[in-house]
Chains A and B, each alone.
Chain A
């Protein structure tokens, strides 16, 4: 049986800089997987490759049996991969419900699971699931920063993904807000069965949340394992300290 997400020998360079250089890894279904690494280690590029934002120079990405690395972004969404962005991106002049409607209108096929049941009666329950109950009629730009970050996740989930990619979701959040975010991410995995891949700079945030962690440096995989294992890894510590 093929693994849920399988990445082989994935590489991408921009103008001679090897942002991602020969990444190999796999993610199991139903896990929350964290990708950590210092700034410029290629995390966000990797996420862009997985979501179809960029096309890889070489290597393959498979989601189940489906090959993703040749698809444009909107086809990747249909295949079951949704993403959020480092800087908040929403249709800011629209209401939250209107934003969610865009996600709902993606041509993703029914997944036949909890997500279809949740979205059957419109977007309200999804908004509540991420921690934004009753906010549907509000204009997004009027939401607080933390609420906007949650809203961005809800909009991505509205496309009914199998795999959700989050790019530094906790940016700009207070510790309390980050706690709410972590709960929301857990609910998305537990209640909707969506596999989550998080790119995060904030190691602390990831330690309590992720089942597996993959550490990157200079576009390569440095270490992989449970949070505790990775935290103790000598190479990871060195990379973070800049040694």
Chain B
């Protein structure tokens, strides 16, 4: 029994090309600029929320946004490419440890960031190459194991990572305000990059792989290369998110990055809407924000969260974004009738 074409269940494709003809959206005359302007506005709002709300809400929002960055990366390989990667948490860890170690050795922030990016990209390249012949659930299980491997290495490579105790992160931003700006800007840039990739040939090719990899190969898409590139790009987003979480937390330890994190990042993307630009944001709000804000005791909280994963993914296959689409379509239709 062949593994079904990867991603045959995801929401509508991102790009403009494959969309069915729809009613003109508002402000369509702005062209592509409309989406980017919207994202900039969103960024401003997020920054205001980050800097103006109390410490508790601000920290919850910061975690959400950092997860959104990592999730946007995942959106490229899993959302566009249809490959269920459960290893995004490992790149997140590599970015965090890479940047922190560089800062501890006195490197300036930008160099530390470059190192984090290079390290996560390299890890993505190696893992992508190793898993290049696997598809579907094989790929999911394989990536999950790399999450475990990274966790084991972080725990056991005492001389580098200080093991379970973790590391104190040298703070590289002059103030919390600066860090908040960095988080908001990086989030929006991540979302914009996904928007951009989704409309470029690279994104189109990833989507052909999601829809039918063999057919794509026979239409001239170099599927192996595109998948690998998509995976490396995803890893870089994860690494950048890692740099920010290390700076935000002040300390890092393997417990923050167990293999489960990569799993939950994938869940967040699926629940929010895989292949949709705002999917990772909505998913992160839900997965990271809700348990924090509702302050559920850990057992019941996790139980409820688990239940919600299952229910959401069954009831709304395309995630929250598709539910929002449905709601908008419903409203426009009713307005049209009047």
Point out the residue from A52, A78, A98, A103 that lies within 8 Å of B17, measured CB to CB.
A98
Interface string of A65-109 (1 = CB under 8 A from B): 000000011110110001101000111111101100111011110
Point out the residue from B12, B13, B17, B204 that lies within 8 Å of A97, measured CB to CB.
B17
Cα–Cα, bound, A95→B219 (Å): 16
Contact status A102-B21, CB under 8 Å: no
Chain B residues in 8 Å Cβ range of A72: 217, 222, 224
Chain B's nearest CB lies how many Å from the CB of A28? 24
**Interface presence of A173 (CB below 8 A):** no
Cα–Cα, bound, A107→B21 (Å): 28
Chain A residues in 8 Å Cβ range of B221: 74, 102, 106
Closest A residue to B8 by beta carbon equals A93
Main secondary structure of the interface of B (DSSP, over half): helix
Interface string of B183-213 (1 = CB under 8 A from A): 0000000000000000001001100100110
Q: Counting chain B CB atoms within 10 Å of each CB, which of A74, A77, A139 scores highest?
A: A74
Chain A residues in 8 Å Cβ range of B25: none
The range of chain B's interface size is 20 to 34
Contact status B217-A74, CB under 8 Å: yes
Given contacts A91-B212, A101-B204, A105-B205, contact A159 B17 (CB under 8 A): no
Chain A's nearest CB lies how many Å from the CB of B170? 46
**Interface presence of A53 (CB below 8 A):** yes
Chain B residues in 8 Å Cβ range of A74: 217-218, 220-223
Given contacts A72-B217, A106-B221, contact A98 B201 (CB under 8 A): no
Point out the residue from A95, A103, A155 that lies within 8 Å of B20, measured CB to CB.
A95
**Interface presence of A137 (CB below 8 A):** yes
Chain B's nearest CB lies how many Å from the CB of A68? 14
Given contacts A91-B208, A91-B212, A101-B204, contact A77 B18 (CB under 8 A): no
Cα–Cα, bound, A68→B228 (Å): 24
Interface string of B211-235 (1 = CB under 8 A from A): 1101111111111100000000000
Closest B residue to A79 by beta carbon equals B220
Contact status B17-A77, CB under 8 Å: no
Binding site for A on B (CB under 8 A): 12-13, 17-21, 201, 204-205, 208, 211-212, 214-224
User: 3 closest pairs, A vs B, by CB?
Assistant: A106-B220, A77-B220, A94-B18
17 other A-B residue contacts (CB within 8 Å) besides A91-B18, A102-B204: A52-B218, A72-B222, A73-B218, A74-B220, A74-B222, A75-B222, A77-B219, A83-B218, A89-B215, A92-B211, A93-B12, A103-B220, A105-B205, A105-B220, A106-B221, A137-B21, A159-B220
